[in-house]
């Protein structure tokens, strides 16, 4: 399989952490050029600390980690400590990072990397609000045609919202940024709640992580033990939805996923539906398709892949 060069843009977050671990456990298929951090689940200072904690947990302290935007383009920051805990990585007790944060701003790293790598060879993998991505596109419009594709976690259609009745968290936090990304003309693959709510860490699946009996397996099991309570209370679901790892798993095994190439637009006008991903799933408009909107996965295949790869760390 051809190695795919990626930039992970993230707001760790326990599920971001698992997505990063899955990528770092798959060097034959994925070359992580860098990890760029954004304010989202918790403030930027914590997301950029947590990303380094995860790199060190994976035994990969050489992965460059960059701090990016500390607030959305045009709205106040909304965080999700109620889901992820005060640190954003509640659950396991992990040591503070020893590896440094890079000096370069995340937005400049994204721009410089896309300009340096051959066109169409770098995939952007946003796992949080799209503030860094949109800021890079605003600052350097020339990079849009150089991006291979964007594979992101965000949005919802049939599942509707998890932070408001109509909006998913990543899009809701920075809807203006999301609008810029979805109107950029870049090929986009969307992992919305419609599919991530089918990637549930059931007790058996979490035991499989714990039974790896490795620091990574134990930490992931402890993360999901903490992370699951929000969704179990809200949705009565049978475990934590592993939202962000769907992005990494898609890079490794796209055959595990299915969806439709449709038009997706972002609500940025009405406060009532702010951040809603208006997905034309039924093709009732003449708006041109701009995204592969994933709505299903082979959950057993996903967890077999994830568990096997985590065992490698
Ligand atoms: O709505 C789920 C998304 O919001 C995930 O990326 C989670 O990490 C939070 O950022
Ligand atoms: Ca996230």
Q: What is the CATH number for 15?
A: 3.90.245.10
C-alpha span between 277 and 152 (Å, rounded) = 13
Q: What is the pTM of this model?
A: 0.98
For 183-195, what is the mean pLDDT? 98
Statement: residue 1 has pLDDT above 80: no
pLDDT of residue 306: 98
Statement: residue 2 has pLDDT above 80: no
For 150-162, what is the mean pLDDT? 97
Question: Which has the higher per-residue pLDDT, 71 or 240?
Answer: 71
C-alpha span between 142 and 131 (Å, rounded) = 18
Q: Does residue 84 have an active-site annotation?
A: no
- SS3 letters across 139-181: HCHHHHHHEEEEEEECCCCCCCCCCCCCCCHHHHHCHHHHHHH
Q: Could you report the per-residue pLDDT of 281-294, keeping only the tens digit for each?
A: 999 999 999 999 99
pLDDT of residue 27: 97
Q: Could you report the per-residue pLDDT of 207-248, keeping only the tens digit for each?
A: 999 999 999 999 999 999 998 888 888 888 889 999 999 999
Report the chain's terminal Cα–Cα distance, integer Å.
Answer: 20
pLDDT of residue 293: 98
The percent of residues in the chain predicted with pLDDT above 90, rounded, is 94
| Å from CA of 128 to ligand 1 middle | 6
For 181-197, what is the mean pLDDT? 98
* C-beta of 159 in contact with ligand 1 (< 6 A): no
- Pairing type for strands 65-67 and 122-126 reads unpaired
* C-beta of 240 in contact with ligand 1 (< 6 A): no
Q: Which ligand is nearest the CA of 230, by number? A: 1
* C-beta of 128 in contact with ligand 1 (< 6 A): yes
C-alpha span between 160 and 166 (Å, rounded) = 5
For 165-183, what is the mean pLDDT? 98
* C-beta of 168 in contact with ligand 1 (< 6 A): yes
pLDDT of residue 232: 83
| Å from CA of 169 to ligand 1 middle | 6
C-alpha span between 275 and 268 (Å, rounded) = 6
- SS3 letters across 267-311: CCCCCCCCCCEEECCCCCCCCCCCEEEEEEECHHHHHHHHHHHHC
For 190-218, what is the mean pLDDT? 97
- Pairing type for strands 200-201 and 188-191 reads unpaired
Question: What is the rounded average pLDDT for all residues in the chain?
Answer: 97
C-alpha span between 107 and 185 (Å, rounded) = 19
| Å from CA of 286 to ligand 1 middle | 30
pLDDT band per the 50, 70, 90 thresholds, residue 171 = very high
pLDDT of residue 228: 85
**Domain extent for 153:** 4-310
pLDDT band per the 50, 70, 90 thresholds, residue 177 = very high
Statement: residue 61 has pLDDT above 70: yes
C-alpha span between 37 and 46 (Å, rounded) = 9
Number of domains in the chain: 1
The count of C-alpha atoms lying within 13 angstroms of the C-alpha of 210, restricted to the half-sphere facing its C-beta, is 13
């Amino acid at each position: 399989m051809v190695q795919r060069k990626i930039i992970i843009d993230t707001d760790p977050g326990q599920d971001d952490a698992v997505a990063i671990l899955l990528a770092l456990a798959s060097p034959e298929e994925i070359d992580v050029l860098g990890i760029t951090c954004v304010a989202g689940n918790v403030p930027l200072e914590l997301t950029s600390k947590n990303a380094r904690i995860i790199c060190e947990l994976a035994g990969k302290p050489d992965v460059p980690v960059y701090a990016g935007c500390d607030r959305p383009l045009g709205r106040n920051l909304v965080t999700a400590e109620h889901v992820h805990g005060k640190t954003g990585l509640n659950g396991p007790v992990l040591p503070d990072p020893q590896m440094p944060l890079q000096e370069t701003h995340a937005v400049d790293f994204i721009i410089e990397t896309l300009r340096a790598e051959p066109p169409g060879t770098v995939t952007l993998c946003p796992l949080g609000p799209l503030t860094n991505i949109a800021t890079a596109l605003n600052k350097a419009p020339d990079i849009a045609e150089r991006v291979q594709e964007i594979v992101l976690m965000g949005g919802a259609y049939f599942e509707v919202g998890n932070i408001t009745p109509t909006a998913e968290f990543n899009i809701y936090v920075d809807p203006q940024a999301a609008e810029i990304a979805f109107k950029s003309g870049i090929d986009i693959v969307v992992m919305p709640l419609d599919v991530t709510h089918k990637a549930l860490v059931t007790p058996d699946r979490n035991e499989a992580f714990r039974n790896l009996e490795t620091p990574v397996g134990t930490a992931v099991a402890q993360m999901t033990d903490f992370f699951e309570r929000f969704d179990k209370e809200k949705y009565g679901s049978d475990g934590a939805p592993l939202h962000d790892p769907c992005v990494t798993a898609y890079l490794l095994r796209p055959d595990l996923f299915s969806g439709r190439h449709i038009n997706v637009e972002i609500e940025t006008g009405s406060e009532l539906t702010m951040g809603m991903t208006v997905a034309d799933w039924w093709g009732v408009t003449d708006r041109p398709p701009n995204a592969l909107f994933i709505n299903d996965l082979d959950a057993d295949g996903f967890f077999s892949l994830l568990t096997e790869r985590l065992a490698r760390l």
